Amino acid sequence: MHPVLFQIGGITVYSYGVMLSLAFAACAFAFLRAGRKAGLPADKLADTVIVLIVAVIVGSRLLYVLFRLPVYRAEPLAVFRLSGGGMSFFGGLAFGIAAGLLYARRHGLPGGKISDLLAPYLAIGYAIARVGCLLNGCCYGRRTSVSWAVACAFGGDAHMRHPTQIYAIFAAVVIFFILQSRREKITFDGRLFIEFLLLYCLYRFAIEYFRETDLIAGFLTWGQIACLALAAVSFLVSRRLAGRRGC
């Protein structure tokens, strides 16, 4: 683990923050490039990126804090301390979808087309962010004796664990290539983004069995419950959109 990237004087640069920034930058650059090639207005696309970044950061942090409210009640200012991680993908996803669709509708942009353009690069951004998790030592796996296990120093814990961050990076790269291969095969706007959601849910549901997290009702984690709910909603939305197009 390497949570601190480097220090200059009294300034500490954290690995997680750097990788998260790189994830946003890479995703935004690729999305803007794809949007311009698709003939969408560059100025509105740039504004869309700003709206999405703000919404994702706020939503991901908010959900993370809500699940750990007693801790943050005791130390309210820690809500704004992001150097050690503390982001929820599901919270960022929910806020990002809501803000993106609202902005697109208000400014006459094709929300479905924009989401399809963004989908593959979300996977790449996710992979880069998980590199930050690996360096930071968070989002670690359960204890194991497999030959590829890694030590986790997060919170003083040095046990050998499943490298779930690496599993996530690999899965995200695979999802990226799947979505790229599907670009020309989608039958309605929004389908590629829905496929991203379904693939993410599939990967996340499986990897939860290897992550160090609490079980709910003895057999499911909160992440798996969220995956089931998101997959169900995505499937229903997909069927509705397909029905509108007569697919």
213-245: per-residue pLDDT in tens? 888 867 899 999 999 999 999 999 999 888 776
Check whether 76 has a pLDDT greater than 90: no
Confidence of residue 247 (pLDDT cuts 50, 70, 90): low
17, part of any domain: yes
205, part of any domain: no
Check whether 124 has a pLDDT greater than 90: yes
C-alpha to C-alpha distance for 118 and 142, rounded to whole angstroms: 32
DSSP per position, 105-132: HHTT--HHHHHHHHHHHHHHHHHHHHHH
Supply the pLDDT for residue 101: 94
Supply the pLDDT for residue 140: 86
Supply the pLDDT for residue 33: 95
Decide: helix, strand or coil at residue 41.
coil
Give the residues across from 4 on adjacent strands.
Answer: 14
Supply the pLDDT for residue 159: 80
End-to-end CA separation in angstroms for the chain: 49
Confidence of residue 138 (pLDDT cuts 50, 70, 90): confident
Supply the pLDDT for residue 157: 66
Supply the pLDDT for residue 4: 83
Confidence of residue 27 (pLDDT cuts 50, 70, 90): very high
Domain count across the chain:
1
Q: Is 63 left (phi over 0), alpha (psi -120 to 50) or beta?
A: alpha
Check whether 127 has a pLDDT greater than 90: yes
C-alpha to C-alpha distance for 189 and 242, rounded to whole angstroms: 9
Check whether 155 has a pLDDT greater than 60: no
Domain that holds residue 96: 4-173
Which two structure tokens, joined as six digits, stand for 182? 């599907």
Check whether 154 has a pLDDT greater than 80: no
Mean pLDDT of the chain: 90
Note the residue count of the chain: 247
238, part of any domain: no
211, part of any domain: no
Tens-digit pLDDT profile for residues 157-174: 668 899 999 999 999 999
- pTM of the full predicted structure? 0.90
Going along the chain, which residue ranges are E strands? 4-8, 11-14, 150-151, 160-161, 215-216, 220-221
Tell me what the mean pLDDT of segment 65-70 comes to.
Answer: 85
C-alpha to C-alpha distance for 131 and 22, rounded to whole angstroms: 10
Confidence of residue 20 (pLDDT cuts 50, 70, 90): very high
